A = this chain, B = another copy of it.
Amino acid sequence: MPAEAKVNTVAKVEARAAAPASPPLTERQEARRRRILHASAQLASRGGFDAVQMREVAESSQVALGTLYRYFPSKIHLLVATMQDQLEHMHGTLRKKPPQGESAAERVAETLMRAFRALQREPHLADAMVRALTFADRSVSPEVDQVSRQTTAIILDAMGLEDPTPEQLSAVRVIEHTWHSALITWLSGRASIAQVRIDIETVCRLIALTKPEGQKPEGQK
């Protein structure tokens, strides 16, 4: 079925007519790219950020070092792309069984906790991806932004919103901030799993505050 567009991490950022922005990849190139991402995720799963060594990735994916750098201009780019990959997969998984909570806040918290549990199964991989994400400098902005958009989409999905208000988008941004930072404190051993849950639940309360005026917060108490 040709309808299967390349959902790949290669941003479908078309649009520019004149710009040679998105080169169509050959079969073999697409295969190389997949091998590289697979090797990256595999090495990351073993030993986290430090275990993803460019020479090893190149060898594992049977590609020359120079080629690896042609596909991903830095280790950070590679790991952020790996995260894009995983995020897509997770978004798909989450879509299949939407959260059950009554309020938007509950659903978002449930969704994030589900994602958190998935990360706990591969803590080293989580380490590599999250560290890369927060360490990324300006040269990786487009890719990091893409990850951010994907995360936003997941949260908005959980909220069940079509077109959020600016206020709601602010709340979502703050939730993302908390999510990333809480993950970091967990990964570096400074916060327990329980504490991450509390932080997520706490920040999700913000959602109730941003409801369009007519609605009253669906809180408990």
A88 within 8 A of B: no
A177 and B188 in contact, given A170-B199, A206-B202 (Cβ under 8 angstroms): no
Tell me the interface secondary structure of chain A in the complex.
Answer: helix
A127 to chain B, nearest CB (A): 8
A177 and B181 in contact, given A135-B135, A206-B203, A209-B209 (Cβ under 8 angstroms): yes
Residues of B within 8 A of A148 (CB): 190
> How many angstroms between the C-alpha atoms of A43 and B198 in the bound complex?
39
* B181 contacts A176, C-beta separation under 8 Å: yes
A94 within 8 A of B: no
> How many angstroms between the C-alpha atoms of A205 and B141 in the bound complex?
29
A73 to chain B, nearest CB (A): 16
A24 to chain B, nearest CB (A): 26
A203 and B174 in contact, given A134-B135, A180-B181, A184-B134 (Cβ under 8 angstroms): yes
Residues of B within 8 A of A206 (CB): 202-203, 205-206
A13 to chain B, nearest CB (A): 16
> How many angstroms between the C-alpha atoms of A118 and B107 in the bound complex?
38
Set B49, B185, B209: member contacting A205, Cβ < 8 A: B209
> How many angstroms between the C-alpha atoms of A70 and B190 in the bound complex?
24
A134 to chain B, nearest CB (A): 4
A178 within 8 A of B: yes
A138 within 8 A of B: yes
12 A-B contacts, Cβ less than 8 Å apart? A134-B134, A134-B135, A141-B188, A148-B190, A170-B198, A170-B202, A173-B202, A177-B181, A177-B185, A180-B181, A203-B206, A206-B206
Rank and list the top 6 A-B pairs by shortest CB-CB distance, nearest first.
A177-B181, A177-B178, A134-B134, A170-B202, A181-B181, A138-B189
